[in-house]
Structure 1
């Protein structure tokens, strides 16, 4: 006759196996990062378009050069392309430091990642970032959420808390597609817990070996009629010298 213990053991091992196979908050966030960002070194064109009540009021075009560092985070050099008055200006993010360089004054000044660049897009938004390196993630549930294409998707809901005070946002709520780890939606908060903005990741296209979001719609936390669209195009794998990511090199930068 089978004992109670022998009957319960298979159930115990099944439950343990299921628990070990369940995704963790960090693994979900890391997989989402890998979809947003190519690995290694690459360049991408970033176009920012600001709208107020559906009417375009401003626009800017940038080229971002990014490479992974030894800690797994990215360093990014962002070159302003348009409008013409800003052409040649540079932003550099390396570690927790961010700098702005103007070729006319030949001066570099420290920037805050939280400072607005255009519309709802901040300086930190245009720099390539692996969120898993800057935030502590907790899985706070499963929800059905509408994605950027207005389709309902089952999603993991993550609560992200800044691991250091120099990151762009104090906390983030993020929804990641439970089927494929695609980022769907994020809400960004200030230190005071005030909602700063909501972002939708959409228009997934094959870029550098994966389906990546080529458009992010950013909606102001107080005024939903204030919208900024970030478009990503012309992804290219490339060699990026480490010298490009040094503040002292900014006056000598010439794209290859």
Structure 2
């Protein structure tokens, strides 16, 4: 009887997992990071060395549907800089510059954090893949998802994403670049109050004494005009009203 009960439980878990296709799982995981399509996210990026805070920067990120993001640099040492993402293209706009500068999503901001790490907060639009296996991460039963990029402008070519078996919230990820090299490892923290992802901690696989923490300080439903999602407009209008 006991063996039969165990078999039924395992069968039920397997059936539940198989019933949820990969895109359904990714969309649920996305909702823990970005519950709204049009939003302003106040973000901080902090670099720690040997457990001590080394540097910290502040950003305002304006996200719209269709892979559109505008990142405003707020810290004094970077003020006036902006990053614009339109579909698969990224531009850096520098103060007093006459032309936008094309960059890649791997352009470093601080520590292990790149422009793509804060400009994009979803997986379902950019990746596809399969459920690989069940594992336990930090005592949390997880599904391991093997994901590959389905578009050109993604930050990572391949991701091993671990989501909680119960609820599909993101727990951890291994992030790979186009060469196949493991670039960094990420761990996600959930807010105790609203249950959303409140931080993403990035670890360099070589410099193990360093970590970069991206914190999502606030998230507000806000839409800014489409004209701001134009690189030449940003060059001609360097001062934007927040």
Out of 149, 153, 158, the position equivalent to 2:140 is: 153
Aligned residues: 228
Instruction: State which structure, 1 or 2, has the greater radius of gyration over its C-alpha atoms.
Output: 1
Q: Quote the residue 1:224 is aligned against.
A: 208
RMSD: 2.0
Matches within 5 A, 1:97-112: 97-112=89-104
Q: 1:91 to 1:37 in 2, by over 3 A?
A: same
Structure 1 residue 203: Cα displacement: 3.5
Out of 69, 75, 85, the position equivalent to 1:76 is: 69
Matches within 5 A, 1:3-152: 18=15, 22-69=19-66, 74-82=67-75, 84-146=76-138, 152=139
Secondary structure at the aligned position of 1:132 is classed as: coil
Structure 1 residue 20: Cα displacement: 9.6
Structure 1 residue 205: Cα displacement: 4.7
Structure 2 residue 167 is the aligned partner of structure 1 residue 180:
yes
Q: 1:226 to 1:20 in 2, by over 3 A?
A: closer
2:200 and 2:48 mapped to 1: Cα distance?
14
Secondary structure at the aligned position of 1:126 is classed as: helix
Out of 219, 225, 228, the position equivalent to 1:244 is: 228
2:117 and 2:99 mapped to 1: Cα distance?
23
1:117 and 1:28 mapped to 2: Cα distance?
30
On the 8 A contact 1:80/1:86 being kept in 2, the answer is: yes
2:94 and 2:17 mapped to 1: Cα distance?
52
Q: Identify unmatched segments of 5+ residues in structure 1.
A: 1-13, 147-151
Structure 1 residue 109: Cα displacement: 0.4
Q: Deviations over 1:7-55 (max 9, x none)?
A: xxxxxxx99xx58972112211111012111222111111111112223
On the 8 A contact 1:29/1:137 being kept in 2, the answer is: no
On the 8 A contact 1:42/1:240 being kept in 2, the answer is: no
Q: What is the TM-score of this pair, normalised by structure 1?
A: 0.83
Secondary structure at the aligned position of 1:77 is classed as: strand
Structure 2 residue 205 is the aligned partner of structure 1 residue 212:
no
1:40 and 1:120 mapped to 2: Cα distance?
26
Q: Identify unmatched segments of 5+ residues in structure 2.
A: 1-10
1:20 and 1:162 mapped to 2: Cα distance?
22
1:65 and 1:191 mapped to 2: Cα distance?
27
Structure 1 residue 160: Cα displacement: 0.7
